[in-house]
Amino acid sequence: MNNITLDTTKATQFLKAGTVEGLETKVKSVQETLENGTCEGSDYLGWLHLPTSISDEFLNEIQAVANTFREKCEVVVVAGIGGSYLGPRAVIEALSNSFSWLIPDTKNPRVLYAGNNLGEDYLYELTEYLKDKKFGVINISKSGTTTETALTFRLLKKQCEVQRGKEEAKDVIVAITDPEKGAARKAAEKEGYKTFSIPANVGGRFSVLTPVGLLPIAIAGFDIKALIKGAQDMEKATGLNVPFADNIAAQYAAVRQSLYTEAGKKIEIIENFHPKLHYLNEWWKQLFGESEGKSGKGIFPAGCEFTTDLHSMGQWIQEGERTIFETVLSVEKPNNRVDFPFDEENLDGLNFLAGKRVDEVNKMAELGTQLAHVDGNVPNMRIIVPEVNEYYIGQLIYFFEIACGISGNLSGVNAFNQPGVEAYKKNMFALLDKPGYEAESKAIKERLKK
């Protein structure tokens, strides 16, 4: 099978000749620090060679647990937040029928997501929906104390035990958590739940190729071995030994950083013309936003879906402030075919499209958009995906992960921590009078009086 490819020609024309090539030495140096574990955040590099370290035996173990869920559950709820939910959801939504929620399916459990918000109505409606369902829960949390996920898991655990009994519930509740410590690990061991480990050296946004993503994806009925094979092939195609000119991850990182530092482009819009990739956009936004947004630096990651958003954001992209560049996920071959029909009356004037595939119309919309936006001084890169399947989604995941690691280190930040995420939590705990936050609670309440 072919690899995904990268076209940067409509981006590099906005840079001085030789700008990207001039980064070759720096990019290679960054790759070496990743490879040697000498970069900032090096204790979170477990994702770097994760694909090629995964054995068939491990995937078989994941599949066996997935098969238990598939046999015993109509619905499986993934309780997690951030990468713990965006990763698996990105893959499952990309590979699923767009209308699967309307189609009865006797083969595959319906996968739902919770623990990613504190919406009371959402949780009420979820628990009401589950009342007459045979459901299971995957609790994904390294610590077991992340508020959104822990609160949701407590609700779902109790409901599952009430509806199925404690003994039967043990077969359909799994914890994916820290290898050794944390509340989720202790609770799982006490209750006798099956557990999988999130490697201690893999952060949440890089965890989709661990059990965090693999178990839900397998439960949903997709081929995790093909997913991992795609990631393995991309790991090899973007390795340190691959020449800079042939390494699409190195090229992507170098071009985006050049557009940021040399051309003043502060916002990257990831776009697709394939609605199934919506949550891949969302996962990408977290991956790059949480990795690079530090020390007053960082390209702002935004997302659009075309042609839909051309009718809402298109005007701003075409003629707004020139601080943006675009990266388009371009799918070469759809999985199905629809031909545009001929109409005798032709009141809409579209008979000139009769007999053409809808995808041909979509492709010309994509090309026309690229040309228009480039004419409007918006640099444009294209990532060409041969088709949407497990193998190429696996390639995309690893491609973005390694490109993010290179890009973040090029910008001079620790791409693998997220200290800023804690700020809202401290305020929330203080406002809720959590034990241990008395001083913070007093200070913040005084502040609110002013």
| Residues with catalytic function | 290, 311, 425
Decide: 111 and 219 in contact? Cβ < 8 Å.
yes
Q: How far apart are alpha carbons 172 and 158 in whole angstroms?
A: 13
CB contact at 8 A, 79 and 153: yes
Please name the residue that has the structure tokens 């390209």: 299
Q: What is the DSSP letter of 327?
A: E
Tell me, what amino acid is at 379?
Answer: P
* Helix axes of 390-410 and 278-292: crossing angle, nearest 10 degrees: 20
Q: CA 31 to CA 405: how far, in whole Å?
A: 9
Q: How far is Cα 436 from Cα 438, in angstroms, rounded to an integer?
A: 6
Interhelix angle for 147-164 vs 120-129, to 10°?
20
Q: Determine the Cα–Cα distance for residues 75 and 92; give it in Å rounded to an integer.
A: 14
Distance CA 266, CA 256 (A): 10
80: which 2 tokens? 């997690």
Q: Tell me how far apart the alpha carbons of residues 237 and 232 are, in angstroms, rounded to a whole number.
A: 9
Which value, to the nearest 10 degrees, does the dihedral of the CA atoms of residues 409, 415, 419, 422 take? 150
CA angle (276, 305, 328) in 5-degree steps: 90
Distance between CA atoms of residues 359 and 339, nearest Å: 9
DSSP state of 419: G
